[in-house]
Amino acid sequence: MNILKQLVLTKHRFSGLTRHCRALRSSYLHSSTDASVEVHSPEQEVVIALGSNVGDRLDNFNNTLELMNKSGINITRHACLYETAPAYVTDQPNFLNSAVRAITKLGPHELLGVLKQIEKDMGRSDGIRYGPRPIDLDILFYGKFKVHSDILTIPHERIWERPFVMAPLMDLLGSSADCDTVTCWHSFSPLSGGLLEFWEKMGGESLIGKEGMKRVLPIESGLWDWSQRTSIMGILNVTPDSFSDGGKFVSVEAAVTQARLMISEGADMIDIGAQSTRPMASRISAEEELDRLMPVLEAVAGMPEAEGKLISVDTFYSGVASEAVSKGAHLVNDVSAGQLDSNMLRVVASLRVPYIAMHMRGEPHTMQNSENLQYDDVCKQIASEIYSRVKDAELSGIPAWRVIIDPGIGFSKKTEHDLDILGGLPNIRAEIGRKSFGVSHAPMLIGPSRKKFLGHICSRIVADERDPATIACVTAGVLGGANIVRVHNVRDNADSVKVCDAMLKQRSTKNLS
């Protein structure tokens, strides 16, 4: 019989967590001591850790997630993705590590059996303990319960000595507990302040990028550590009606020339858009968008200069995204974060490419109406709404480790809102972190380039006269934590980014000394 020992807290006092956590914890104080119970609840929330260092590690992860969802393990939240040096047995390749939260009706030992079968199906065989493996799956938490049997111990007994397990585990939490079960998980910590205090004592964020552990985003055929420097995304509009450069690059020849110029000036990515999303823009069909986009995309992707660079497609149509990726695009940049095409999230999940989820209310034709411009606290509300969109993406099968967030400067915003965003990027991250540390750590893109609010502030009616103002925005954004800047003028903004990155590196060096 699978017997679980229900958590009791009569022997421990906890401090240092949020008031919310302390309030929730009180509901366990009257549990009967050492009560042995079987799980009768139809569903339990679980945390499962993943690791891989044999074969195509990312493909192993993707296939494992599919098998888990098909086996009665319904994944609801993903941690970030980490590349880590091997532990215990060090003479082996680096690992990819992550973790997921999921809901399951499986009992704990049933769950263990399913995970062991998935490991076997993925090619794992008996070998050296802690040695190489295509996939390794460990149950970290199972509901509010502790499990002790000959084959299973929950919480997993080695959580407390493994930063490569603690980091993804923390990503699945927020600074505020979102349910009683999470509060219970905090209580498993050896320290009174819960998992948050334990992670900080272990080293916390200071461990990322050191001791063989870096946070990465899979893109094209590699892993991108976006913390090393800020990336430049060059804007290539192949539209007749974009607010800044509409009509300039509609021909394939002109578009290729512009892409080549931006790459020579320092662009890391080229974002190709074939539909204007300026305020009041009329929507064209997916078919018309494809007719504009595909000749340019194929030509740019075939440029020798594009080797090693990334191509993004700026679209809110799932059909356009799918066709673009099949012809060489590496990312999907969706201004609606899945709100304008009900198939977008499902399609991007199947494409397995990074997804830029931008904040916008309404759609381009309505985003600047009075209803969509109402904010009490713009940074707080943007954070909440972005998190909601990312949560939808995760439930559709897009792991958080493939998401890039964009606060949507200029989209359903007034001038004062855009300024609040530029000065409040850390606040947006912190607010997202109340619900999900993992999403708060996602790469952040900002796109202030030549936007109308800069024209209002600087009295520049002509869009391409707003480049100096754009540089000021980029400077503020990078120093505030932006990881990607989307700009028209690559050369001048690239210089701004280099200075900002140097400043940030200097600041980091001084903090370490």
Asked if the model's pLDDT at residue 491 lies above 90, the reply is yes
Residues 202 and 287 in one domain: no
Q: Which of 193, 216, 239 is the last residue of a domain?
A: 216
Which distant-in-sequence residues (6+ apart) come within 8 Å of 400 by Cβ? 77, 78, 79, 80, 171, 390, 394, 436, 438, 439, 442
Where would I find the H helices in 434-489? Answer: 437-440, 452-458, 467-479
CB 464 within 8 A of CB 245: yes
**Percent of the chain clearing pLDDT 90 (strictly above):** 80
Average pLDDT, the chain: 89
pLDDT tens-place string over residues 164-197: 999 999 999 999 998 999 999 999 999 999 999 9
Mean pLDDT confidence for 462-488: 97
Confidence (pLDDT) at 92 = 87
Q: Which of 182, 176, 201 is nearest to 190 (CA)?
A: 201
Query: Does some domain include residue 348?
Result: yes
Confidence (pLDDT) at 306 = 96
Query: Does some domain include residue 325?
Result: yes
Confidence (pLDDT) at 245 = 61
Residues 261 and 351 in one domain: yes
pLDDT tens-place string over residues 283-298: 899 999 999 999 999 9
Instruction: Quote the tokens at residue 189.
Output: 């910590």
Mean pLDDT confidence for 310-321: 98
Mean pLDDT confidence for 315-321: 98
Confidence (pLDDT) at 41 = 61
Place of tokens 């909440």: 384
Residues 446 and 497 in one domain: yes
Confidence (pLDDT) at 361 = 96
Mean pLDDT confidence for 192-208: 94
Residues 131 and 267 in one domain: no
Asked if the model's pLDDT at residue 341 lies above 80, the reply is yes
Under the banding of pLDDT at 50, 70 and 90, the label for residue 79 is: very high
Could you write out the three-class secondary structure of 103-159? EECCCHHHHHHHHHHHHHHCCCCCCCCCCCCCCEEEEEEECCEEEECCCCEECCCCH
Residues 217, 198: Cα–Cα separation, whole Å = 26
Asked if the model's pLDDT at residue 19 lies above 60, the reply is no
Residues 206 and 328 in one domain: no
**Percent of the chain clearing pLDDT 70 (strictly above):** 89
Query: Does some domain include residue 389?
Result: yes
Query: Does some domain include residue 48?
Result: yes
- Domain count for the chain: 2
Residues 314 and 262 in one domain: yes
Residues 269 and 411 in one domain: yes
Q: Which of 38-52, 136-150, 356-370, 421-435 has the lowest mean pLDDT?
A: 38-52
Its pTM stands at 0.90
Q: Which of 11-25, 152-166, 218-232, 352-366 has the lowest mean pLDDT?
A: 11-25
List C-alpha distances in Å: 392 to 305, 342, 388, 397, 399. 37, 11, 6, 9, 11
Query: Does some domain include residue 113?
Result: yes
Query: Does some domain include residue 255?
Result: yes
Query: Does some domain include residue 17?
Result: no
Residues 320 and 466 in one domain: yes
**What CATH number corresponds to the domain at position 108?**
3.30.70.560
Residues 264 and 207 in one domain: no
Residues 137 and 249 in one domain: no
Residues 266, 96: Cα–Cα separation, whole Å = 30
Confidence (pLDDT) at 337 = 97
Domain span holding position 138: 44-216
**What CATH number corresponds to the domain at position 407?**
3.20.20.20
Query: Does some domain include residue 267?
Result: yes
Residues 123 and 238 in one domain: no
Which distant-in-sequence residues (6+ apart) come within 8 Å of 150 by Cβ? none
Q: Which of 216, 244, 260 is the last residue of a domain?
A: 216
Q: Which residues are catalytic?
A: 451, 486
Residues 189 and 235 in one domain: no
Q: Which of 195, 216, 237 is the last residue of a domain?
A: 216
Which distant-in-sequence residues (6+ apart) come within 8 Å of 21 by Cβ? 14, 176, 177, 183, 186, 194
